[in-house]
């Protein structure tokens, strides 16, 4: 080539450069650049031209093929790397003859099958050090003629020129991608903060993340507080996991366990080559994990779980994927934590509401202004309301009317000022019916974070039962005093008569006086004994005793002395006790005195005739019958028989000693043994007492 020819050729190539520069000014995607370059070179040189450009690493190459007449096609080549390797020369551009190729399989490769004799190849020299993978590629002129305007010496400059446009396109692509990622993270963050339900959070997250990372699956594992184990969210695990137990990893187990324990993210592109991977989950599910990127979910430096993306569809996970997943992890962790806290708050609220509603005491909450915010069922009942309408929203001191003592207003003031103490006041509150109910009101104040009063709680304990018990106790003492006074006065009177010598010379009289003293003393003694027994029973000692009471033994001890006494008094005594009565459970002492009282009464209140005692098993019960032909009980006295200190007029008139405590105690004791007592009596004919006690189960 002479000088003139060379200058002409340079001018000529200039045309190509100008043409390409013009073409590529507005082309901002790499595929567009490659297509334009292939076309322009092929048309300019009249030589079939191929531009190859790597897709994702280790996956495939895109190829643009254009004939000299401008016929352009695009192809995707899967296994062109070895063919390209044969063309890579240290100097850059290379001319390779097909004949000189090392192996037959290369000749059959996607590129070489298009070639007849040789290829002029120049790699595209991309600058290294970019954030994503540096693409590979090159320009191939297939079978170029000797006088081809592009040759080994000038094609490298062309390649550099083109690389600038390609690189610009890649950068633009990356910016676009980052913009999309940013938008997605922004959208996700926004939508995550808008919901407090964990399921919603996870559902909102999965699809966008899977799409943008182009992965097969996303999974989330949360750290179980008690064990530290990671439990994977079942809803995200897909159909393969549906019939399996939840996936659970111990701290440090598997990639998720390692990430949760260390708090450091991991990218693993071939999990089966990594010993940290825990393959059992794959074995169970049939899912095949290839690559994993796993980031910790952290809240205030504490790992609450992990977020995993599994099996990237094109190529390996890289730092860009990691950054993206980390960007999502922070708002996700915060959202999950919020949902958990919200759940805890709701659970706590339900707990408090339940306590509030099942409390037997009346409860009232009042806000800082003194208005009722809530009243429980028990308080409504206490006040005689059907609904809380009359109370809620109104000033507490107006709707809770306190009868005696200080007004509720004053008490509320006390509660307001009592720091840490819970003041109490006993009072009467008005009932809707117009009456009043005695209550003990306890109050407590609740402060907010600033120490300002935010709420007050009042508990109303119904004092009616206590008051009733107090009244009964008072009556009881009153009765005792009365009952003790009578025999004591009698004893005192007869003792004085004796001392004053009123029966000095009359032995029979003295004997009668002493008889009265003795009888009244007996009565006093018995009364004291019975009262002690009663006190014991009322102290609920019986509730605590659960002995097996063998009734046959009891009757053996009890009946002979009583039978003797009956016979002494000229009565006919008969007994019919079934052998091997079932035992009953309870207090032996109590049952003994029940039976003794009944039989003693029968003997005591029978002047002549017979007394009969029977005991037998019937329908899981033991039935004891005590029958006499005594004085009987007048009908009008029968309802009062079992009351404390009650004695029928007939007994008092006949001067039959007694305290009126026996039957009261019998009934109490029988009922405490879950039994029953019945009486049938006709005045002047006799009485029949029947008790039934449940037999102990075998
Ligand atoms: P007490 O026998 O000490 O008077 P109780 O409580 O045992 O007291 O009995 C109360 C009253 O019931 C007796 O005072 C008596 O009037 C009447 N009563 C009890 N048992 C009989 C009976 N078997 N026959 C007639 N009256 C009876």
**C-beta of 647 in contact with ligand 1 (< 6 A):** yes
Q: Which of 569, 601, 637, 640 to mutate to test the pocket of ligand 1 (most atoms within 8 A of CB)?
A: 601
pLDDT at residue 132, as a whole number? 57
User: Facing residues of 299 across strands?
Assistant: 302
For the chain, what percent of residues have pLDDT higher than 70? 95
* Coil vs helix vs strand at 229: coil
pLDDT grade for 28, boundaries at 50, 70 and 90: confident
Structure tokens at 74: 């695009």
pLDDT in tens, 234-288: 777 777 777 777 889 999 999 999 999 999 999 999 999 999 999 988 888 888 9
Strand order in 372-375's β-sheet?
A: 372-375, 362-367, 453-462, 436-447, 424-430
What is the band of 104 on the pLDDT scale with cuts at 50, 70, 90? low
Q: Which atom of ligand 1 is nearest to the CA of 663?
A: 6
Distance 554 CA to ligand 1 centre (A): 22
Which atom of ligand 1 lies closest to the CA of 597?
7
Map residue 120 onto helix, strand or coil: strand
605 lines ligand 1 (CB under 6 A): yes
Q: 60: which residues sit within 8 A by CB, 6+ positions away?
A: 54, 76, 77, 78
Question: Is residue 658 lining ligand 1, measured as CB closer than 6 Å?
Answer: yes
> DSSP class of residue 376?
-
Q: Which of 362, 438, 434, 432 is nearest to 405 (CA)?
A: 438
Helices (H), 278-375: 280-285, 319-358
Distance 485 CA to ligand 1 centre (A): 20
Atom of ligand 1 nearest to the CA of 630: 24
Q: In this predicted structure, what is the pLDDT of residue 474?
A: 79
Residue 677's pLDDT band, with cuts at 50, 70 and 90, is very high
CB of 659 within 6 A of ligand 1: the answer is yes
Is the pLDDT assigned to residue 37 strictly greater than 80? Answer: yes
In this predicted structure, the answer to whether residue 457 has a pLDDT above a threshold of 90 is yes
Mutate to test the pocket of ligand 1, among 633, 642, 666, 669 (most ligand atoms within 8 A of CB): 633
pLDDT at residue 544 in the model: 60
| C-beta 633 within 6 A of ligand 1 | yes
Task: Specify whether the CB–CB gap between 560 and 523 falls below 8 A.
Answer: no
User: Which pLDDT value is given to residue 16?
Assistant: 86
Ligand 1, atom 25, residue with closest C-alpha: 632
Distance 630 CA to ligand 1 centre (A): 11
Give mean pLDDT, residues 19-26: 88
Backbone phi, psi, residue 455, to 5°: -160, 155
598-614: average pLDDT: 96
In this structure, what token pair is assigned to residue 5?
Answer: 């020819």
Query: What percentage of the chain has pLDDT greater than the value 90?
Result: 45
What was the pLDDT predicted at 511? 92
Q: Which tens digit of pLDDT belongs to each residue from 626-644?
A: 999 999 999 999 998 998 8
Phi-psi region of 375 (alpha: psi -120 to 50; beta: other; left: phi over 0): beta
* Residue 567 alpha carbon to ligand 1 centre in Å: 20
Q: 404-413, 455-464, 528-537: which has the highest mean pLDDT?
A: 455-464
| Mean pLDDT value across residues 487-505 | 90
Residues 302-343: pLDDT tens digits? 999 999 999 998 788 988 889 889 988 988 898 889 888 998
Please identify which residue in the block is written with the tokens 């334009």.
36
Supply the residue whose CA is at minimum distance from atom 20 of ligand 1.
601
Q: Is 602 close to ligand 1, i.e. is its CB under 6 Å away?
A: yes
Confidence (pLDDT) at 9 = 65
For residue 575, list its beta bridge partners.
613
How much distance in Å is there from the Cα of 627 to the middle of ligand 1? 13
Distance, CA 648 to ligand 1 centroid (Å)? Answer: 7
Which atom number of ligand 1 is nearest to the Cα of residue 650?
16
The overall average pLDDT reported for the chain is 88
| Confidence at 291, pLDDT banded by 50, 70, 90 | very high
User: For residue 628, which atom of ligand 1 is closest to its CA?
Assistant: 23
Helices of type H across 194-240: 198-213
Least confident window among 303-307, 470-474, 576-580: 470-474
426-442 tens-digit pLDDT: 889 989 888 889 999 99
pLDDT tens-digit readout, 154-200: 898 889 889 989 989 988 888 888 888 888 888 888 877 777 787 88
Spacing, Cα 243 to ligand 1 middle (Å): 76
616 alpha-carbon distance from chain centroid = 54
Give, for ligand 1, the residue of 525, 531, 605 to mutate: max count of ligand atoms closer than 8 Å to Cβ.
605
Least confident window among 64-73, 207-216, 524-533, 536-545: 536-545
Of 525, 660, 669, best ligand 1 pocket probe by most atoms within 8 Å of the beta carbon: 660
CA of 253 to the centre of ligand 1 (A): 82
């Amino acid at each position: 080539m002479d000088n003139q020819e060379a200058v002409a050729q340079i001018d000529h190539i200039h045309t190509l450069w100008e043409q390409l520069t013009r073409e590529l000014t507005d082309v901002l995607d790499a595929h567009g650049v490659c297509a334009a370059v292939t076309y322009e070179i092929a048309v300019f040189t009249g030589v079939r031209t191929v531009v190859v450009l790597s897709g994702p690493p280790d996956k495939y190459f895109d190829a643009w093929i254009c004939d000299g007449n401008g016929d352009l096609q695009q192809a995707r080549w899967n296994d062109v790397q070895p063919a390209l390797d044969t063309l890579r020369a240290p100097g850059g551009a290379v001319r390779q003859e097909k004949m000189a190729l090392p192996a037959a399989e290369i000749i059959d490769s996607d590129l070489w099958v298009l070639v007849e004799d040789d290829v002029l190849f120049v790699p595209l020299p991309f600058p290294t050090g970019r954030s994503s993978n540096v693409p590979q590629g090159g320009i191939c002129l297939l079978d170029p003629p000797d006088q081809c305007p592009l040759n080994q010496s000038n094609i490298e400059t062309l390649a550099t020129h083109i690389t600038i446009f390609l690189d610009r396109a890649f950068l633009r692509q990356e910016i676009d991608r980052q913009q999309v990622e940013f938008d997605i993270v922004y959208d996700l963050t926004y939508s995550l903060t808008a919901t407090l339900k964990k399921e919603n959070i996870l559902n909102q997250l999965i699809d966008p993340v899977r799409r943008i990372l182009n992965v097969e699956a996303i999974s989330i594992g949360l750290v179980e507080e008690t064990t530290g184990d990671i439990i994977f969210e079942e809803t995200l695990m897909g159909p393969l996991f549906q019939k399996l137990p939840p996936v659970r990893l111990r701290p440090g187990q598997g990639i998720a366990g390692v990430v949760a324990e260390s708090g450091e993210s991991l990218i693993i592109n071939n999990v089966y080559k990594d010993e940290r991977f825990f393959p059992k989950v794959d074995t169970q599910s049939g899912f095949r994990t290839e690559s994993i990127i796993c980031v910790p979910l952290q809240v205030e430096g504490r790992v609450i779980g992990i977020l995993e993306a599994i099996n990237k569809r094109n190529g390996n996970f890289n730092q860009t994927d990691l950054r993206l997943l980390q960007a999502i992890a922070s708002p996700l962790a915060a959202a999950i934590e919020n949902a958990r806290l919200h759940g805890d708050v709701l659970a706590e609220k339900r707990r408090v509401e339940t306590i509030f509603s099942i409390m037997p005491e009346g409860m009232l909450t009042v806000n800082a202004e003194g208005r009722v915010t809530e009243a429980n069922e028990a308080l409504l009942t206490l006040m005689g309301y059907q609904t809380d309408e009359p109370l809620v929203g109104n000033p507490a001191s107006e709707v809770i009317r306190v009868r005696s003592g200080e007004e509720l207003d004053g008490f509320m003031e006390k509660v307001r000022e009592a720091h840490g103490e819970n003041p109490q006041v006993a009072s009467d509150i008005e009932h809707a019916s117009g009456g009043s109910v005695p209550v003990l009101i306890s109050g407590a104040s609740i402060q907010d974070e600033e120490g300002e009063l935010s709420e007050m709680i009042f508990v109303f304990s119904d004092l009616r039962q206590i008051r009733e018990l107090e009244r009964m106790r008072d009556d009881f003492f009153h009765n005792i005093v009365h009952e003790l006074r009578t025999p004591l006065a009698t004893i005192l009177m007869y003792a004085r008569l004796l001392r004053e010598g009123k029966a000095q010379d009359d032995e029979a009289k003295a004997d009668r006086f002493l008889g009265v003293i003795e009888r009244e003393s007996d009565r006093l003694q018995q009364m004291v004994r019975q009262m002690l027994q009663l006190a014991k029973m009322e102290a609920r000692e019986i509730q605590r005793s659960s002995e097996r009471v063998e009734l046959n033994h009891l009757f053996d001890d009890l009946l002979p002395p009583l039978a003797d006494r009956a016979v002494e008094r000229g009565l006919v005594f008969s007994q019919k006790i079934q052998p091997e009565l079932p035992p009953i459970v309870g207090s032996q002492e109590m049952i003994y005195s029940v039976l003794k009282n009944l039989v003693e009464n029968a003997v005591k209140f029978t002047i002549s005739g017979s007394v009969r005692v029977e005991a037998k098993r019937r329908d899981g019960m033991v039935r004891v019958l005590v029958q006499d032909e005594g004085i009987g009980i007048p009908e009008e006295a029968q309802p009062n028989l079992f009351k404390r200190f009650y004695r029928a007029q007939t007994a008092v008139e006949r001067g039959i000693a007694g305290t009126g405590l026996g039957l009261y105690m019998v009934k109490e004791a029988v009922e405490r043994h879950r039994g029953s007592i019945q009486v049938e009596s006709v005045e002047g004919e006799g009485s029949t007492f029947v008790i039934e006690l449940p037999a102990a189960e075998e």
